[in-house]
Amino acid sequence: MGSEVEELERAVMGLEALVKRVRSYARELRTRARKLRRRMERRGYWIDYTYVQGHGPYYRLRWMENGEIKCKYLGKSPKLPKELESNKEAMKIMDELSSLDNEAERLKRIVERAEKTLQEAFNKAS
């Protein structure tokens, strides 16, 4: 019985190390996305997003015009409107931002599945 407990402890330690790596990677994604958004802001426009009833993100382009904040709905995939498509740097930023958001969403789904599986197994065991 002692070796099983030791193996369990090793497995838990491995899981804790993996959680630390996932948390660190999530922070890296968030930091990279913030930097991209700041680059957009320096050009006079910015992207924000929202979730609606657990779905999303849904993106919006915002900019200042005549002292007012204007907004254009971009949808699920952050594509720039035609008037900004000629801005190569903005297109690159949007592509990178979309890629980061997709990676974060993929990682979130994986973590949620793992959490659910572990919780179900633990509930059965206790």
Mean pLDDT of 106-125: 92
DSSP state of 76: S
How does pLDDT run across 39-54, given as a tens digit for each residue?
A: 878 777 787 878 888 7
Alpha carbons within 13 A on the beta-carbon side of 47: 29
Q: pLDDT > 70: what percent of the chain?
A: 90
pTM for this model (two decimals): 0.69
Is 2's pLDDT higher than 80?
no
pLDDT at 85: 61
- Mean pLDDT score of the chain: 85
- Lowest-confidence segment of 33-42, 43-52, 58-67, 71-80 by average pLDDT: 71-80
Residue 75 and residue 59: Cα distance in Å, rounded? Answer: 5
Name the strands in the sheet holding 68-75, side by side, starting at the edge strand that comes first in the sequence. 45-52, 55-65, 68-75
